Structure 1
Amino acid sequence: MATSTPRPSPAQGQLAALEDQFIKMAEDFDDRSQEWRRLFSELLGTFFLVLVAAGGGMMGQAFPDTISRTAAVTAPALMVLGIILFMGKVSGAHLNPAVSIAFALRGDFPWARVPGYIVVQLIGAALAAWFLQAVIGVSAQYGSNYPAAGYSAFLAMVMEAVLTFALVCVILGTASGAQNVGVVGAIGVGGYIALAGLWGSPISGASMNPARTFGPNLVSMDFDSYWVYVAGPLLGAVLAVGVAFVLRGRGGGRSGSAAAQGVLFTEVANPNA
């Protein structure tokens, strides 16, 4: 005995049409009025990152002998992994001015968007540090990065440059051409951040991110040696872009651009790559 499929009511049809219209609007990132979604994604993601990265040191100060160095450097890596998975397709989940600049130098990200990304990354980092200081009750200074005692600012800068160089190599490599492994790349990036922190943090803190250090420094008004955490990551990022060119040629292809910008709106400089 054949049964007929119930036809949707007019109200259900209108609801479905509205839902489809909203989805198309949200995904239409060709409309520059939708850029705020990307910027909000970067602000929120950087907030979460700094919340964990700076929070380890500040929690350790408030509650002695509760946060080990291993936990303090692993937690940000796990947070980055989670952020890439849950909103990497919206903004590319840069969370780091050095990464935004590297993607732009590589040709995978429009330079016109770089200032906006950097501004919201810095704001997100500052909000996280302010929140931590207000809730935990210790200075945000304990959540920042400084050269280790007995090591010069120059050596700390070199360490930051080397650590960031490898980080950006991993990011560009897992987001390009035959090496594009999609969301699995989040594991590679998160794993590298944990590894770098485990061996590199005693000297410089393994920030690898000007925004991550800027937030606690701004809230505590202590910019001592902050130049280390700007110059080092930027130098490392530029070197990584050069290596990416040597290994894979010029960027701007579909896969790299999609990873850098999120798949919702991708400007491809080199469509055939």
Structure 2
Amino acid sequence: MATRIEGIGEEEMSNMESGVAVTNPTSQSKTKQGFFSSPAVVTITQKVVAELIGTYFVIFAGCGSVAVNKIYGGSITFPGICVTWGLIVMVMIYTVGHVSGAHFNPAVTITFTLLGRFPWKQVPLFIIAQLSGSILASATLAVMFDITTETYYGTLPVGSNGQSFAIEIIISFLLMFVVSGVATDSRAVGEMAGLAVGMTIMLNVFVAGPISGASMNPARSIGPAIVEHEYRGLWVYIVGPIIGTIAGGFAYNLIRFTDKPICELTKTRSFLGTKSRNDSC
């Protein structure tokens, strides 16, 4: 007679005697739902989606203002384009900054990672989301407007590649220096981060816009280049912003610890945030 043995009921025992495989509904359910119900998976998914949507609207509004200004005879004007870039970045920082950190920029993501403020394993996901958002926004603009060589909304060096490369490094340095100060330093007024970063971008576009287009962001340049098949000088807008943001981030990380003696700084941590072997001043 079938009896209940170690949590196995009569029906399960009968199936075992007949050679039928027995499955545990509870464990099967956990297997099916475990991955997608994991808090870590849900959280990273939310971050990636936030980065994609945020980057989409940054590129759509910023590049859209460039396209509309060229197509409709300067209706927005150059100052209007500068303000648009600053406003859309500020708006999206306040909208999704608490979800993903509002990078919207592969160079910023890479810099945060090198400084030990962002996990390496999430870097590919963030960069893919940022590039995807830029490409989707650029494709949207290409469908909406009749884009020609004269109305291209991407970034191209006006002078030499070297001139644009240098200015991209400088303005990207300033951007990351400000981001590090207002968004990562506990002594700063965190509520002002979006305004400060948006104003920095607006000022950078005022200064560098007529020279390089003021990219400061590889995703901002790669998206339009892929959609419109315009790759002239693209390396400037990939290498320049990455060098500039890394330099700006490390520069602020250096002055962040100026309230400590140099020997204490070198004893406790390196600029990468790792422990130093030198334990004495």
Deviations 1:125-180 (CA, angstroms, capped at 9, x unpaired): 000011011012224861101111xx210110110000000000000111233433
TM-score normalised to structure 1 length = 0.77
Does 2:212 align with 1:201? no
- Equivalent residue for 1:255? none
Q: Distance in 1 between matches of 2:38 and 2:198?
A: 27
Indicate which of 237, 250, 261 corresponds to 2:245.
237
Q: Which residue of 2 aligns with 1:211?
A: 219
CA contact (8 A) 1:102 1:238 kept: yes
Equivalent in 174, 181, 187 of residue 195 of structure 2? 187
The structure whose RCO (Cα within 8 Å, separation 6+) is larger is 1
Question: Which 10-residue stretch deviates more, 170-179 or 120-129?
Answer: 170-179
**1:159 match:** 167
Q: Calculate percent identity across the aligned residue pairs.
A: 32
Which is worse superposed, 139-148 or 85-94?
A: 139-148
* CA shift in 2, pair 1:29/1:185, >3 Å: farther
Distance 2:211 2:160 in 1: 10
Unmatched tracts of structure 1, length 5 or more: 1-27, 251-268
Find the counterpart in structure 1 of residue 94 from structure 2: 85
Match of 1:49 in 2: 58
**d(CA) in 1 for partners of 2:248 and 2:104?**
17
Tell me what 1:37 maps to. 46
CA distance in 1, matches of 2:43, 2:73: 45
Which residue does 1:145 correspond to in 2? 155
One-letter identity of the residue aligned with 1:194: M
- 8 Å contact from structure 1 (residues 164, 237) kept in 2: yes
- Kindly report the root-mean-square deviation, in angstroms, between the aligned alpha carbons of the 2 structures: 2.0
Letter in 1 for 2:191: V
In structure 2, the residue matched to 1:125 is: 134
Moved over 6 A (4+): none
Partners of 1:242 and 1:34 lie apart in 2 by: 28
Q: Is the 8 A contact 1:133 1:139 kept in 2?
A: no
> Residue by residue, what CA displacement relative to the aligned partner does 1:55-90 show, whole Å, maximum 9, x if unpaired?
122112221121211111210110010111111000
Matching residue of 1:99: 108
Q: Normalization by structure 2: what TM-score?
A: 0.75
1:47 and 1:144 map into 2 onto residues whose CA distance is 14
**Does the 8 Å CA contact 1:84/1:183 hold for their aligned counterparts?**
no
Give the total of aligned pairs: 223
Name whichever of 129-138 and 220-229 sits farther off. Answer: 129-138
Bigger proportion of residues as helix: 1
State the distance in 2 between where 1:201 and 1:153 align. 14
Distance 1:139 1:89, change over 3 A: farther
2:179 and 2:39 map into 1 onto residues whose CA distance is 25
Q: What is aligned with 1:264? A: none
Q: Which has the larger radius of gyration?
A: 2
Amino acid at match of 1:42: E
Secondary structure at 1:93's aligned position in 2?
coil
Aligned partners of 1:96 and 1:164: how far apart in 2? 11
Partner of 2:122: 113
The gaps in structure 2 that reach 5 residues or longer are 1-36, 259-272, 275-281
Q: Which amino acid aligns with 1:224?
A: R
Q: Quick one: which amino acid aligns to residue 193 of structure 1?
A: I
Q: CA deviation at 1:218?
A: 0.6
